[in-house]
Amino acid sequence: MAHATFKTGGKQYRVSEGDFLDIEKLDVEPGSKPVFEEVLSVGDGESIRIGTPTVEGAKITAEVIEQRKGDKVIAYKYRRRKGYERTVGHRQKLTRIKITSISA
């Protein structure tokens, strides 16, 4: 089974064909097919190719399933006996994709 590691949104993800993945928001419509060309490594079970820094000619094709928001993250600050409390909430915007093909 082929697997690959690629980089997008400042993070690295290890994927196989058919995987569903939530990544940082891409400015694309649902149903479109983005191509990720910043592939760091590609493996097919027995052999693995590691790029310096990327693998030449490798690309990952995906299909955008939906644009969504992640879980709410609460940042709470507190100083004891000082009457100081701050609460800030935040929801990250995400894009859910399905990996359709990995080509080296």
Mean pLDDT for each consecutive 10-residue tract of the chain (104 residues)? 92 96 96 96 91 93 97 97 97 97 91
Q: Map out the domains of the chain as residue ranges.
A: 3-67+96-103
How much of the chain is in helix, strand and coil states, percent to nearest 5? 0, 65, 35
Q: From CA 42, how far away is CA 56, in angstroms rounded?
A: 11
pLDDT score at 104:
83
pTM: 0.84
